[in-house]
Structure 1
Amino acid sequence: MKGLVYNGPRDVSVNKVADPKIEKPTDVLVKITTSNICGSDLHMYEGRTSVEKGKVLGHENLGVVVEVGAAVERVKKGDRVCLPFNIGCGFCKNCERGYTGFCLTANPGMAGAAYGYAEMGPYQGGQAEYLRVPYADFNCLLLPPDAVEKEDDYVMLSDIFPTGFHATELAKVGPGDSVAIYGAGPVGLMAAHSAFIRGAAKVMLVDRHADRLKLAEKIGAIPIDDSKVDPVEAIMKLTGGEGADCGCECVGWQCHDPSHGHEIPNMTMNNLVKSVRPTGRLGVVGVFVPEDPKAEDKLAKQGQIAFDMGLYFQRGLSMACGQANVKAYNRKLRDLIQAGRANPSFIISHRLKLDEAPKAYDKFDQRGNGWTKVVLKLAA
């Protein structure tokens, strides 16, 4: 089959790779119809992770079941399914508690497994024609009759929509709240969409890329361009000097100074602390890594940031963080899509074929040039 393979920093190509096969009786094989390129894929693309050469990338996947293992009971051949990016076994201590992003079985020696991602197990990704899905009865989200009609919305259930929703859950966004979100990339836009679904009265989205800020405004959020104004001052002004009720960090350790373009890994975190009112809550889903040897910042090389702990303590803030446990949200979010209450596909800027994926990675990596979210279309 054809698959998008990592060859080295900023070098990916569509190659012939081995077809996946049923390896355990709990597996199914899925013919991929849509697979997204995620901002997290760019960490690997840029050579900032330990991903091995030859890995097929892609963890935001949707398709049709074409082969079923002997022990699979719920999922049937022909079912249209969306696959959570985190692979869970369903029976370990963490999976039983709903923390499927931290499965203790699927990736021995580490909490958490995923398709086509660095250090997240031996699993190939879905930017390919076919994908092996382990623990299929647990991991496959069955899609409703409008699966083809709304495929671009449903594929967002694999990662980006639940991750944005997770940010608002960690921040405890509620009806009438004001919300400050740093980062208007796909995750930040999904956090804003989710905040409105949860009843937020005011959502302020900080970024500097015009295409992203236009999308933020389109869904009713207040765009704040941090290349033109101090974002903390802007948020304070919009909240009568109190600060937002809660905040979401949707950028991570690769955030950049708006003036000179240098990486400042602690910038968004510390700005968020200053932007949220005393006793407010922070939800952090932007990626921070245990170590980054190629970072410019000395602390970041060791996976650390200079955090304004004193101000955080003084303001009595609380914080929760980590990757989304997709299965905690995907069924309810699926039902919101089916009911017409959620339409996460509004973030899509490009629909391309698999053979165009290398170009898409290059364009998406440049950021701010209209390439907001890329979906790869592989089959009908």
Structure 2
Amino acid sequence: MRALIYQGPRDVAVRDVPDARIERPTDVLVRITSTNICGSDLHMYEGRTSVEQGTVLGHENLGEVVGVGRAVDRVKVGDMVCLPFNVACGFCRNCERGFTGYCLTVNPGFAGGAYGYADMGPYSGGQAELLRVPYGDVNCLRLPPDAREKENDYVMLSDIWPTGYHATELAGVSTGDSVVVYGAGPVGLMAAYSAMLCGASKVMVVDRQPDRLALADKIGAIPVDDGLGDPVEQVLDQTGGEGADKGCECVGWQAHDPDGNERPNQTMNNLIRSVRATGALGVVGVFVPQDPQSPDSLMRDGEVALDLGLFFQKGLRMGSGQADVKRYNRQLRDLIAADRAQPSFLVSHNLGLDDAPDAYRHFDNREDGWTKVVLNP
């Protein structure tokens, strides 16, 4: 089969690799029809992780079931399914409690597994023609009859919409809240979109990319351009000097200041300053235990200079971590099916698999108009 593999920093290529196949009775084999390039893929693409050469990338996947193992009961050949980026067993202590992003069995020695991602187990990604799905009955979200018609919407259920929604859940967003979201990438825009669906009264989105801020404005959020001045002051101006009720961090450790310098603590500390006393934060931007290549000496060991004193003084609460996609994907699927939500507003490009290397380059360069790329193998 054809698949996109990692060859080295900023070097990916489409190559022939052995076909994905059913290996265990609980496996499902999916012919991939849509697979997204995720912002977190760029950490690997840039060589900032321990991803191995030859890894097939891609953890945001949707397609048609073409084979099932003999122990699969629920999923049938011909079903259109969307796959959570989390690989989960469904029966371990964490999975039974709903923490499928932290499965204890699929990646021995580590809580959590994922497709085509550094340190997340031996699972090939879906930027390919075929994908093996372990524990298929658990991990396949079956889609309604309109799956083909709304494929660009449903593929967002694999990661970015549940992750954005997770940020609002971690922050405890509720009806009438004012919310600030740092980062207008796909996850940040999905957090803003989710906050509005949850009834937030005002949603502010901080970024400096004009095309991304334009999308924030398009969905009814207030764009805050931190290239035009202190974003905290702009948020305070929008909230009568008190700060937002809730805040979401959707950038992570490779945050940059307006001068282009990498500052891992920038969005976290701005978020602490932007949220009112007794508010809450949801942190879904990726932070890693170590990054030897970071220009920040603390971040090389996975540490950031957090403004903990102000965090404590304001009595803030914080939740963090990757999304347990299965907590949310059924409900969000049903919003799409009912025409209550259209997360495909993010999509800027539908491309073939052979276009993936160029797409990675454009997306990594944050070029205008490259907001979300869907590959259609």
TM-score, normalised relative to structure 1: 0.99
Q: Which residue of 1 aligns with 2:7?
A: 7
CA distance in 2, matches of 1:89, 1:112: 10
Q: Which residue of 1 aligns with 2:355?
A: 356
Provide Cα deviations, 1:265-298, integer angstroms capped at 9, x if missing partner. 0000000000000000000000000000000000
Q: Which residue of 1 aligns with 2:149?
A: 149
Code of the residue aligned with 2:16 in structure 1: it is K
Asked if the contact 1:282–1:320 (Cα under 8 Å) also holds between the matched residues in 2, the reply is: yes
Code of the residue aligned with 1:356 in structure 2: it is D
CA distance in 2, matches of 1:71, 1:18: 24
Asked if the contact 1:211–1:368 (Cα under 8 Å) also holds between the matched residues in 2, the reply is: no
Q: Which residue of 1 aligns with 2:185?
A: 185
Q: Which residue of 2 aligns with 1:279?
A: 278
Code of the residue aligned with 2:325 in structure 1: it is V
Q: Which residue of 2 aligns with 1:294?
A: 293
Q: Which moves more between the two structures, 362-371 or 237-246?
A: 362-371
Q: What secondary structure does 2:101 align onto?
A: helix
Report deviation, 1:110: 0.3
Q: What secondary structure does 1:44 align onto?
A: helix
Gaps of 5+ in 1: none
Code of the residue aligned with 1:210 in structure 2: it is P
Provide Cα deviations, 1:306-351, integer angstroms capped at 9, x if missing partner. 0000000000000000000000000000001111111111001111
Code of the residue aligned with 2:150 in structure 1: it is K
CA distance in 2, matches of 1:255, 1:300: 12
Report deviation, 1:370: 1.4
CA distance in 1, matches of 2:309, 2:109: 35
Which runs of structure 2 are paired with 1:1-380 in the superposition (5 Å)? Answer: 1-258=1-258, 260-378=259-377
Code of the residue aligned with 2:83 in structure 1: it is L
Asked if the contact 1:203–1:222 (Cα under 8 Å) also holds between the matched residues in 2, the reply is: yes
Code of the residue aligned with 1:16 in structure 2: it is D
Gaps of 5+ in 2: none
CA distance in 2, matches of 1:61, 1:288: 23
Residues paired across the two proteins, number? 377
CA distance in 2, matches of 1:68, 1:88: 17
Report deviation, 1:229: 1.7
Between the aligned residues of both structures, percent identity stands at 71
CA distance in 2, matches of 1:368, 1:194: 25
Q: What secondary structure does 1:298 align onto?
A: coil
Asked if the contact 1:34–1:63 (Cα under 8 Å) also holds between the matched residues in 2, the reply is: yes
Asked if the contact 1:213–1:224 (Cα under 8 Å) also holds between the matched residues in 2, the reply is: yes
Asked if the contact 1:21–1:132 (Cα under 8 Å) also holds between the matched residues in 2, the reply is: yes
Q: What secondary structure does 2:87 align onto?
A: coil
Provide Cα deviations, 1:40-93, integer angstroms capped at 9, x if missing partner. 100000000000000000000000000110000000000000000000000000
**RMSD in angstroms over aligned alpha carbons?**
0.5
Provide Cα deviations, 1:193-233, integer angstroms capped at 9, x if missing partner. 00000000100000000000000000000001001121000
Report deviation, 1:369: 1.9
CA distance in 2, matches of 1:229, 1:347: 26
Report deviation, 1:377: 1.0
Q: What secondary structure does 1:341 align onto?
A: coil
Report deviation, 1:368: 4.3
Code of the residue aligned with 1:290 in structure 2: it is P
CA distance in 2, matches of 1:278, 1:171: 14
CA distance in 1, matches of 2:117, 2:74: 27
CA distance in 2, matches of 1:76, 1:338: 20
TM-score, normalised relative to structure 2: 1.00
Q: What secondary structure does 2:298 align onto?
A: helix
CA distance in 1, matches of 2:346, 2:68: 33
Code of the residue aligned with 1:354 in structure 2: it is L
Code of the residue aligned with 1:171 in structure 2: it is A
Code of the residue aligned with 1:293 in structure 2: it is P
Code of the residue aligned with 1:242 in structure 2: it is E
CA distance in 2, matches of 1:114, 1:190: 20
CA distance in 2, matches of 1:99, 1:188: 22
CA distance in 2, matches of 1:144, 1:229: 46
